[in-house]
Amino acid sequence: MLNVPPQAFPAPASQQRVAAGSRAKVPLKPGRSLMDWIRLTKSGKDLTGLKGRLIEVTEDELAKHNKKEDCWICIRGFVYNVTPYMEYHPGGEDELMKAAGSDGTDLFDQVHRWVNYESMLKECLVGRMAVKPIAAPKGMLPEKKVLGASAKGLTPSYDWFQTDSLITVVIYTKQKDVNAELVIVDCQDKQLRGEIIMDDHSYLVEVDLDHAVQEDLAVNIAEKVGKVEIILKKKDNIHWKMLGRPLESHNTLIKRTGRGLFYRKCKLVSKTEVTHDTKLFCLMLPKSTHLSVPTGQHVYLKQIIAGTEVVKPYTPVLPFLPLDFKEPSCHGGAHVYLMIKIYSCGLFTQALDHLQIGDYISVSSPEGNFKKSQVQTSEDLFLLAAGTGFTPMVKLLNFALTEVSCLRTVKLIFFNKTEDDILWRSQLEQLALKDERFEVQFVLSQPTKDWVGKHGKISSSLLCEFVKRSRKDSKVLICICGPTPFTEQGVQYLKDLGYSQEEIHAFSA
Ligand code: FAD
Ligand code: NAP
């Protein structure tokens, strides 16, 4: 059963009132939460003023609707009357007004392209933009296939071959150092989707296969030559005349941000308590998926809540902080571990908490702008985390301590309200005992009188002590993650202390 938050939701301090995703936001009025919006969209009220009709909208017509009390916005060719949504927008009315009467696609993509606006705004749909006829020069490729001059010679290509029992799809990426994290493969209902991440571009092979294949697939990567093999097992040992029918985005190389998020259903296999309000969810990827979430990146989870698709980001962690710092091989990348705080009036986390073992939830491909190369040359790594802002630090710690040979110090300063809120405290303390490069400090904002450690909030004086270089000219990386105002304040303090933009990485959506 869905746990529908009470009317007073969201609470005054709630993230939904003050922030959406990770951007600082304006407070929403009472009765203007996401759940309230969902209720309004279900009320049968005519939200477009068009009594259910869909119209063709010209650019001139769109431009006329540019006021708060009459605001239309175009996203990917569809026009929405967002006037009734104004007060519910977590980013505030002014943010929405930036796209009033115009095409807001780019702005939307920059801020939160993962939000499913089609579902959220379906009752606000006015219609499609009227398409102006454009005379395209003969032989011009569709937009998706047009590549930058530098990319042209390096466009990946693919081929396929078969034996009696196997189909092998080979992708020649034409770039070195392709590793498992850059290859995402899914095969669902005969549809094969193989994506190769190439910096900020994505190459896709997407085909509706000619015949059925078995559930499990294998992926072989020849890192040095950039060759990726996807090996599928035929269901029936028959000869295939063709690989299959190409789908819309097949054989395209485009900017990653231009690809819609792809989801696969994952099974909840365990749910274990980490603290009084935080749980470790273990999700099993389908056998027909090859995916591993890179350090510092997050995924999106999608659930239907009261008939509306709701999407939230979460940062995968390891099953535990292994003291010998090797990811257990039995987990083989087939599981995704998420450490999630369940808020008593949280829309998404309450629904998550109600999932039973064996239930399925949609998990997206990874996203995020953190690059491991940022750590690879660091000598001092300082991690600043608050609450569940600890999650990106888990894989980062593992990576730093196992693979970055030039690191001299790794320090974590971890801000929480009370002792009971500290995530993986004993594991962190054990790690500090085991590895002399690692040090952890806990800071509590609401300690009991027995707490002998540091207390307070993030401040310049605390940071000044904490982020001292181990040597005068040490190469430093400082990573910070937590509630948006915490992160913003932290970044400002660090800049005031003289750290450069390149030395700071703030995690956000
Ligand atoms: P909402 O319905 O949005 O909020 C309602 C209630 O939640 C409020 O009443 C309030 O009590 C509480 N609340 C929510 N956020 C806060 C806050 N910051 N401070 C105080 N109270 C708050 N969360 C995780 O638990 N684990 C992760 O690994 C994780 N990774 C993330 C990665 C990224 C890139 C980002 C941007 C966020 C991440 N989050 C993570 C936060 C997560 O996406 C949701 O915002 C969170 O789970 C709350 O969702 P909700 O719908 O349950 O709460
Ligand atoms: P929390 O328990 O509410 O807070 C943790 C600590 O941070 C507490 O000591 C708290 O002090 C302090 N804090 C809260 N707001 C602050 C502010 N404005 N200024 C200074 N200190 C502040 O945290 P949480 O509920 O776990 O929330 C974690 C946050 O991290 C969420 O917002 C989540 O979205 C974000 N997150 C982001 C990413 C990412 O971007 N990649 C990943 C994971 C989590 P008080 O006692 O004053 O509240």
Q: Is the pLDDT at 15 greater than 60, yes or no?
A: no
Residue 15 CA to ligand 1 centre (angstroms): 7
- Preceding amide of 10 cis, omega within 30: yes
For the stretch 162-198, pLDDT in tens is 999 999 999 999 888 899 999 999 999 999 999 999 9
Q: Is residue 20 predicted with pLDDT exceeding 50? A: no
For residue 429, give the H/E element and its range. Answer: helix 425-434
**Tens of pLDDT along 429-488?**
999 999 999 999 999 999 999 999 999 999 999 999 899 999 989 999 999 999 999 999
Give per-residue pLDDT as tens, 143-153.
344 444 344 55
State the Cα–Cα distance between residues 211 and 223, nearest whole angstrom. 30
Question: Is 446's C-beta closer than 6 angstroms to any atom of ligand 2?
Answer: yes
Nearest ligand 2 atom, CA 421: 2
pLDDT at 321: 87
Bigger pLDDT: 118 or 329? 118
pLDDT digits (tens, 9 = 90+) for 258-268: 888 999 999 99
- Give nearest CA residue, ligand 2 atom 16: 486
Q: Could you give the CA distance from residue 466 to residue 153 in angstroms, rounded to a whole number?
A: 48
Beta pairing class for 166-172 and 183-188: unpaired
**How does DSSP classify residue 468?**
-
pLDDT of residue 301 exceeding 90: yes
What is the reported pLDDT for 54? Answer: 84
Whole-number Å distance, alpha carbon 316 to ligand 1 midpoint, is 14
Q: Per-residue DSSP letters for 339-393?
A: EEE--TT-HHHHHHHTPPTT-EEEEEPPB----THHHHT-SEEEEEEEGGGGHHH
Look at residue 429 in the predicted model and tell me its pLDDT.
96
* Ligand 2 atom index nearest CA of 19: 32
Reply yes or no on whether the pLDDT at 210 is more than 90: yes
Pocket test for ligand 2, best of 444, 486, 489, 491 (most atoms within 8 A of CB): 486
- For residue 132, what pLDDT band results from cuts at 50, 70 and 90? low
Separation of 342 CA from ligand 2 center, angstroms?
13
Best residue among 25, 301, 457 to mutate for probing ligand 2's pocket (most ligand atoms within 8 Å of CB) is 457
Mean pLDDT, the chain, rounded, equals 87
* pLDDT of amino acid 242: 96
Kindly state the tokens that stand for 157. 């290509």
Residue 14 CB–ligand 1 contact under 6 Å? yes
Protein residue with its CA nearest to atom 29 in ligand 1? 314
pLDDT, residue 153, reads 58
What backbone phi and psi angles, to 5 degrees, belong to 32? -125, 30
Strands (E), 210-261: 213-222, 227-234, 244-246, 252-255
pLDDT at position 336: 97
Beta bridge partners of 386: 415
112 alpha carbon, closest ligand = 1
pLDDT at 309 over 70: yes
338 three-class SS: strand
Distance 329 CA to ligand 1 centre (A): 31
Nearest to 10 by CA among 118, 421, 25, 86: 25
Q: What is the pLDDT of residues 36-65, one digit of tens each?
A: 998 898 888 899 988 878 888 889 999 999
What's the pTM value of the predicted model, to 2 decimals? 0.82
Q: pLDDT category, 419, cuts 50, 70, 90?
A: very high
Residue type, 250: H
Instruction: Return d(Cα 293, Cα 296) in angstroms, integer.
Output: 8
pLDDT for the residue 324: 63
Task: Give the pLDDT score at 117.
Answer: 83
Q: For residues 465, 467, 472 and 477, what is the CA-based torsion angle, rounded to 10 degrees?
A: 180
The answer to whether residues 498 and 492 touch, using CB atoms and an 8 Å cutoff, is no
